[in-house]
């Protein structure tokens, strides 16, 4: 398994790039988000994380600038009917954070806007990944705050406090996250609180 490719970025197009590693040029299919982050670095050293797809008639290498994007890609291809190309299309439209928000709030329309992704496929993505994504966001919150100072509690609810930290990890300000949590039952599980808050924030 090829974990990453590290070399000189020779060519960069919206759908793929070529990285020269010791005289061998590796062609990697990429998302538009990865393209945007590397296009200005042609002829410079570049490292991309990779996913290798091996089929009977073809071998294709996919490249990702961030681990979050690679993780989202791997999660998407677990959905029935969603292959690597469809996952790349979704991640070209949505960053990993925006995809997490769309899935947790069941925003099928946002996912269906991706090229080649219809409403049925988008609905399947939401259906199959909603619980997994909520747990992943919660786990990311734990990792990000493990060594940080204690967060500010909302009332006496540790569940709301943990949800607050998770929303901040997703990129929302503390003030916006706190407003979104107002009125949500503090006795709900964290994985239930997060989608309710995200739904408010997405309005």
The three-class DSSP label of residue 12 is strand
Residue 30 predicted with pLDDT over 60? yes
> Exposed (0-12), middle (13-18) or buried (19+): which is 99, by Cβ within 10 Å?
buried
- Closest alpha carbon to 11 in 118, 94, 181, 35: 35
167 HSE (CA, 13 A, CB side): 30
Q: Are 49 and 63 spatial neighbours (Cβ–Cβ below 8 Å)? A: yes
pTM: predicted TM-score of the whole model, two decimal places: 0.71
- The phi and psi torsions of 176 (rounded to 5 degrees) equal -65, -40
Q: How far is CA 39 from the centre of its chain?
A: 20
Task: Kindly state the tokens that stand for 91.
Answer: 């991640």
pLDDT at 25 over 80: yes
Neighbours of 176 (CB within 10 A): 15
Residue 9, CA distances (Å) to 5, 14, 23, 26, 85 in order: 10, 14, 12, 10, 22
**CA 144 to each of CA 29, 136, 151, 165: distance values in angstroms, whole numbers, following the listed order:** 30, 12, 12, 9
Domains of the chain, each with CATH number or no CATH? 4-65 (2.40.50.140), 68-201 (1.10.150.20)
Determine which helix (DSSP H) or strand (DSSP E) holds 145, and give its type and residue range: helix 119-145
pLDDT digits (tens, 9 = 90+) for 121-175: 999 999 999 888 766 655 555 444 444 444 444 555 678 888 888 888 777 888 8
Residue count of the chain, please give it.
Answer: 203
Lowest mean pLDDT among 91-95, 100-104, 146-150, 183-187: 146-150
């Amino acid at each position: 398994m090829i974990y990453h490719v590290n070399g000189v970025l020779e060519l960069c197009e919206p759908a793929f790039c070529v990285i020269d590693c010791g005289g061998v040029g590796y062609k990697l299919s990429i998302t538009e988000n990865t393209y945007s982050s590397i296009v200005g670095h042609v002829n410079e050293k570049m490292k991309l994380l990779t996913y290798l797809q091996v089929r009977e008639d073809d071998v294709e290498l996919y490249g990702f600038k961030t681990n979050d994007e690679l993780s989202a890609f791997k999660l998407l291809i677990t959905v029935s009917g969603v292959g690597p190309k469809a996952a790349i299309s979704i991640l070209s439209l949505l960053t990993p954070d925006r995809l997490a928000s769309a899935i947790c709030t069941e925003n099928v329309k946002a996912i269906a806007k991706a090229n080649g992704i219809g409403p049925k496929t988008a609905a399947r993505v939401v259906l199959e990944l909603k619980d997994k994504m909520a747990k992943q966001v919660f786990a990311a919150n734990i990792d990000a705050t493990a060594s940080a100072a204690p967060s500010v509690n909302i009332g006496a609810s540790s569940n709301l406090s943990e949800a607050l930290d998770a929303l901040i990890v997703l990129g929302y300000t503390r003030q916006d996250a706190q407003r979104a949590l107002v009125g949500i039952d503090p006795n709900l599980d964290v994985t239930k609180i997060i989608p309710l808050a995200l739904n408010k924030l997405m309005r």
